């Protein structure tokens, strides 16, 4: 018996939930986002079925663009409560196995288990999720979270794959370093400047060079990740949201500060009401402004009086943060958003 990590990754989760509710859509290109109307401006794709992805439809692109790329797609509005409920059903299924469960979002989870046959366990998990929820998932088997995460990528859609430190370099060495879990565009740019293009390049890099250009912590983590080393512990603490946010995209750009402030105030108050209804307290308030150029700065402040449930205080904080932006009308505003960071104590 050995300790194994499994990464469960639901296939096209949001689209799959919608198809479960509308079985007649199975096999057709499905696009979910906004209110589901691709003729309206400034709405973006939340997710797309594999059939729609074949036409170049991806998360984050405008619905109008998705409609041009895939005219025969079925467009549906986003329904977060339905996705939360479906996710809860999946996690309840996983919790019934003799494993340690770490929920990693709506559509992902890590399982830790002592087993002599991790592939058989993975097959049982995949079958149970499909039988009990109707949702397909890929299951990655690894000797740590990193290898399990990447194994699940190899397994998608709907398969099982095993990846360990022993097979890591053969499977991952030639892949771009940017594909490593946790590496973003800024880090990729720095690695490229250092001539480190592949996972193998990064694995063989001089530690001192990485420390010099990326810092001791990041440099050390990158080197370990490139060599297939990752965390082996599973955090079974129930998942609790650390923040909540709301945003709105305007049908026409706003050019006067008063209109922008009115929108931010309304978002802050509505978001605060959601948070308070969930029994949470707010510690920080952040405001995001996207200008017509798509430049999207974010500003944040900590509530000096400590965590609060006072909606007036949350709104005032959002207004204070908004004052940190230059809203002189020269740069029209396309979108605003408000985020609240939440106290983690009861």
Catalytic residue numbers? 108
Provide the phi-psi class of 228: left if phi over 0, else alpha when psi is between -120 and 50, else beta: left
* Phi, psi dihedral angles at 160 (to 5 degrees): -130, 140
- Rounded to whole angstroms, the Cα distance separating 229 from 144 reads 7
- Rounded to whole angstroms, the Cα distance separating 134 from 274 reads 30
- Rounded to whole angstroms, the Cα distance separating 109 from 323 reads 40
5 CB contacts (<8 Å, ≥6 apart)?
A: 110, 111, 112, 141, 142, 143, 144, 145, 147, 148, 232, 234
- Rounded to whole angstroms, the Cα distance separating 71 from 77 reads 17
Among 229, 244, 241, residue whose Cα is nearest residue 199: 229
* Phi, psi dihedral angles at 338 (to 5 degrees): -130, 135
State the DSSP code for 238: P
- Rounded to whole angstroms, the Cα distance separating 243 from 58 reads 25
> H-type helices in 194-256, by residue range?
199-203, 207-214, 216-226
Distances (CA, A) of 158 to 163, 181, 330: 16, 20, 50
Asked if residues 277 and 244 have their Cβ atoms less than 8 Å apart, the reply is no
Asked if residues 16 and 155 have their Cβ atoms less than 8 Å apart, the reply is no
- Which tokens belong to 9? 């990754």
* Tokens 């007036």, residue located: 312
């Amino acid at each position: 018996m050995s300790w194994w990590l499994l990464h469960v990754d639901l296939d096209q989760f949001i689209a799959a939930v919608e198809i479960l509710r509308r079985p007649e859509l199975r096999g057709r290109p499905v696009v979910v986002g906004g209110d589901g109307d691709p003729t309206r401006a400034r709405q973006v794709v939340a997710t797309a079925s594999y059939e729609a992805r074949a036409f170049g439809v991806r998360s984050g692109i405008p619905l109008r663009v998705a409609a041009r790329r895939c005219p025969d797609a079925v467009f549906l509005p986003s329904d977060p409560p339905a996705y939360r409920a479906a996710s809860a059903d999946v996690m309840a299924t996983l919790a019934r196995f003799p494993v340690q469960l770490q929920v990693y979002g709506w559509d992902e989870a890590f399982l830790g288990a002592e087993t002599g046959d991790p592939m058989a366990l993975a097959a049982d998990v995949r079958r149970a999720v499909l039988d009990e929820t109707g949702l397909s998932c890929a299951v990655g088997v690894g000797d740590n979270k990193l290898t399990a995460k990447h194994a699940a990528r190899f397994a998608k859609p709907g398969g099982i794959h095993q990846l360990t430190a022993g097979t890591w370099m053969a499977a991952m060495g030639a892949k771009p370093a940017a594909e490593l879990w946790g590496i973003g565009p800024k880090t990729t740019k720095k690695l490229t400047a250092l001539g480190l293009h592949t996972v193998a390049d990064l694995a063989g890099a001089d530690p001192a060079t990485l420390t010099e250009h990326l810092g001791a912590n990041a440099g050390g983590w990158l080197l370990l990740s490139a060599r297939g080393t990752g965390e082996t512990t599973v955090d079974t603490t129930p998942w609790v949201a650390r923040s909540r946010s709301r945003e709105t995209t305007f049908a026409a750009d706003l050019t006067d500060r008063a209109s922008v402030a009115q929108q931010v105030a309304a978002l802050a108050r509505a978001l605060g009401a959601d948070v308070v209804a969930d029994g949470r307290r707010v510690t920080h308030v952040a405001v995001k402004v996207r200008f017509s150029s798509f430049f999207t700065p974010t500003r944040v402040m900590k509530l000096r009086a400590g965590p609060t449930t006072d909606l007036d205080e949350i709104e005032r904080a959002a207004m204070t943060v908004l004052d940190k932006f230059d809203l002189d009308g020269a740069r029209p505003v396309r979108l605003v958003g408000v985020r609240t960071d939440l106290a983690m104590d009861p």
